[in-house]
Amino acid sequence: MIIKHVSKQNSILNKFIAEIRDKDIQKDSLRFRTNIERMGQIISYELSKTLNYKPKNVETPLGVKQMQVLDDKVVLASILRAGLPLHMGVLHIFDDAENAFISAYRQHKPGSDDFNIQVDYVATPSIEDKVLVLVDPMLATGQSLVAVYEKLKQFGKPKKLHVISIIGSRQGIEYLEEKLPQNAHLWIADFDEKLNDKGYIVPGLGDAGDLAYGKKL
């Protein structure tokens, strides 16, 4: 897997990462969602440099100019519900992309911190010969992303696979390296070294879904 650590080079992205981590600033759910969207746009711009383009003659009021326009067909796939703000940020850049939404969650074993990933709902177009972009803000264990990718493979073989995430763990990245295709790309804003005993990233930022949309039962 090819890993792009986007915040390794300092940019305004680092300010947004700091704000979504900050326990006081992140209390503003609108600001939290907006920062996630902003990061999705920044990362998508970097990803766009790796895609295929073709020439197109564009007619202006004063003449014709040949431009390079995107040639790849893109499908954005997000894990509900935490992935929605990041999905919208990516969609602002790839605004003519097709969209897929998947419900995946941790199903804990009674009296244990162990869990399986349950995928209950998939709404997707065909991904055959398209660029599949999996979007999930938190890459903790990596199990959800792999489970979703395996489910989506029922709907075609993608031409390329890209994963966009905001914060990941070293363990989660290693899991993706083991389970995803060797030529897959991971675009990650930042990563932390460890998970706690419940499988959450430390120091991380908390529950991205709760911070974006409120606590769930």
Per-residue pLDDT reduced to its tens digit, 117-144:
788 899 999 999 999 999 999 999 999 9
Average pLDDT, the chain: 94
Q: Which CATH architecture has domain 2-213?
A: 3-Layer(aba) Sandwich (3.40)
pLDDT of residue 112: 64
Domain positions in the chain are 2-213
Residue partners of 13: CB distance under 8 A and separation at least 6? 6, 7, 39, 42, 43, 189
Residue 69 has pLDDT above 90, yes or no: yes
The model's pTM: 0.92
pLDDT class for 109, splitting at 50, 70, 90? low
